[in-house]
Amino acid sequence: MGENVRKLGPGRLIIASHNDGKIKEINELVCPYGIEAVSAKELGLNDPEETGITFAENAVIKARAAADAANLPALADDSGLEVTALGGAPGIYSARWAGEARDFGLAMRNVEEALAESGSDDLSARFVCALCVTWPDGGEAVFEGRAPGWLTFPPRGDKGFGYDPIFVPQGYDITFGEMDPAKKYAISHRAAAFRKLKKACLED
């Protein structure tokens, strides 16, 4: 998944997401490059059905749908939490663990309960992100990033979103939920994927 890759110049770029936290984080990353990011949510575009079995496949599905609908380059993120003791779950189903209401308080309780049922004391986990850039003529590129760490309970902090309050990144003693957003943006799985995207699509 990388044919017809080209540079992203200044101009409009669709962020293929309805998740306000993701939209804000991606905006922070692309803004310095003169890119005018507009979200699928702002444009009233529907979320496509995510039928992929990997983060990369789902990112491609979302980016392609947005690029086709708006006839503009699109950037999609598919990301989630992989817990070692749960065999990588919730993984690509991270949002589904939050239920129809996308209640991540519920999702974090579900993770804690699943860990208790597993009988394992291994709290290692990682966030994984796949970013896909797609052009209206069919070119696309996928970039993956990871942030290793471990889980902590009960949740701590209210600065992040999703599972951030239970995830302590490697090398730190505070959760993503307690971390200054600018700091989190610099070390997150999304930032790791974006560094690869930047090298391929934004830098000369």
Please report where in the chains the tokens 């394992």 appear, as a residue.
120
Amino acid, res. 93: Y
Q: How many helices (H) and strands (E) does the chain have?
A: 6, 6
pLDDT one-digit tens code per residue, 109-124: 999 999 999 999 999 9
The chain-wide mean pLDDT, for the chain, equals 92
Amino acid, res. 31: C
pLDDT the model gives residue 5: 67
Looking at the predicted structure, is the pLDDT value of residue 1 above 50? Answer: no
For the ranges 17-26, 74-83, 129-138, which has the lowest average pLDDT? 17-26
Give the whole-angstrom CA distance, residue 176 versus residue 156. 9
End-to-end CA distance of the chain: 21
pLDDT one-digit tens code per residue, 34-50: 888 888 888 888 889 99
Beta strand residue intervals within 50-179, DSSP E? 74-83, 124-134, 140-151, 167-169
Neighbours of 199 (CB within 10 A): 10
Neighbouring residues of 9: CB distance < 8 A, sequence distance ≥ 6: 34
pTM of the model: 0.89
* 78 belongs to the catalytic site: yes
Looking at the predicted structure, is the pLDDT value of residue 3 above 60? Answer: no
pLDDT the model gives residue 19: 81
pLDDT one-digit tens code per residue, 56-70: 999 999 999 999 999
**Encoding tokens for residue 69?**
């609908």
Neighbouring residues of 68: CB distance < 8 A, sequence distance ≥ 6: 136
The CATH number given to 11-201 is 3.90.950.10
pLDDT one-digit tens code per residue, 155-195: 999 998 999 999 999 999 999 999 998 899 899 999 999 99
Q: What's CA 188's distance to the chain center, in Å?
A: 9
pLDDT the model gives residue 2: 46
**Encoding tokens for residue 62?**
């979302």
Out of 20, 68, 78, 122, the active site residue is 78
Per the CB < 8 A criterion, the answer to whether 39 and 23 are in contact is: yes
